[in-house]
Amino acid sequence: MTGACIFAASVAGAGESVPDLLHRQDSVGKVEQLAESPGAHWVWVLDANLSSMPDGRAWLFDADSGRSMGSLNTGYSFVAFALPRAYHEIYSAETYYSRHTRGVRTDVVSVYDPNTLSPRAEIALPPKRASTIPRLNDSALTDDGRFMAVFNLTPATSLSIVDTRTRKFVGEIGIPGCSLAFPAGARTLFSLCFNGGALVTELNPDGSLSSQSRVEKLFDAEGDFIADNGARFGNAWLFPSLYGNLYPLEFTGKTIKAGKVWSLVTKKERRENWRISGYQGSAVHVATGRLFVLMHQGAPDTYKDPGTEVWVYDIGSGKRLWRIALEHATVAIGVSQDADAVLVGLDMLSSHLDVYTAVDGRHLRSIGEVGVTPALVQFPWQPPAAPGK
């Protein structure tokens, strides 16, 4: 029997004639649209795809239903998005090669429509974007949403500045001895430095460099270094450290200062080697002022290992409220910002996204097959910089 006959027989067996099939409207090429506003529990799972690094991916899931909402192809060594608070666009720093794995390199910021997930624009960058382990702050938006900074490593360190309004590359700003970009004001960013200090970069209204200043010794870079996956709360970034301390770096105007350091662990827990974990090991629920920290037991050099528990703290008092035992070994956590908040935990090895209630840690569901080597999570709806703002 020929292929055509087999096809016709299978269709007829389904109760549909071949002429009917030929006149059916083809749905190929149809573009679906997501809701105008994202659900409070929609979450992006960011996948560096370590088994095929030229093919980075981002997957959008509804944490309530477990449904896959869509995906984006994001190029070589993908890390994370820069998401404006209004979520009117998605900004993604990406790298491509003309021969897929070799050839001429092109770095861009791709601008995507959040409703159709279709590309709107592409802004060319110098081919210097850092290819690093997954970290959320390899790129960042200024608080006014106008400028995006992309971290470069050649091995000299710098920031490429993009104007999201005009869709143009503004220029490159050196940040010698420092790395990453953390928003700290309308047109202010800071970078963490090798000596435990920070470099504060202030931009002009057109995105060019206005000023830079160094702040020395905010943390002990050798004896108790901080994880660079901190979480923001108001005018401070909260950074857990190797030996279980919490370092608030507070910013006002054009300067940064060290806030009061407090301990995440008791003396007994420190002796038992409880410590920080993962690639994205902290998150904040802004409205309640709660800090979530991913923890595990292990030697000092295991601080990037997956976590087995999440410990929840009141930021104002530094008091630990409760501990959450996790379903899977977890490399990244995130918290939604609504009143019925959920905590999500990402297992890279088994490719699971676990969903818990943020208020008491009750396990709600596990979503499987959320990527190849997923490493980070991002909720589309961004919280205000501080409660009430």
pLDDT band at 81 (very low <50, low <70, confident <90, very high): very high
pLDDT in tens, 163-189: 999 999 999 999 999 999 999 999 999
Alpha helices in 128-192 (DSSP H): none
**Same domain as 379, residue 284:** yes
Nearest to 278 by CA among 265, 294, 301, 263: 294
**Same domain as 194, residue 314:** no
Q: Give the domain CATH number at 91.
A: 2.130.10.10
How far apart are the C-alpha atoms of 146 and 161, rounded to whole Å? 10
Within 13 Å, how many C-alpha atoms sit on residue 227's CB side? 35
How far apart are the C-alpha atoms of 319 and 115, rounded to whole Å? 40
- Of 217, 247, 276, the one marking the end of a domain is 217
Number of domains in the chain: 2
Q: Work out the mean pLDDT of the chain and round it to a whole number.
A: 92
**Same domain as 261, residue 143:** no
pLDDT above 50 (res 50): yes
| Alpha-carbon dihedral sign for residues 139, 177, 185, 233 | positive
Classify residue 7: in a domain, yes or no.
Answer: no
- Of 162, 184, 217, the one marking the end of a domain is 217
Model pLDDT, residue 385: 56
The domain containing residue 50 runs over which residues? 42-73+236-389
Mean pLDDT of 208-235: 95
How far apart are the C-alpha atoms of 59 and 293, rounded to whole Å? 24
**Same domain as 297, residue 364:** yes
**Same domain as 87, residue 150:** yes
**Same domain as 172, residue 57:** no
Classify residue 226: in a domain, yes or no.
Answer: no
pLDDT in tens, 322-363: 999 999 999 999 999 999 999 999 999 999 999 999 999 999
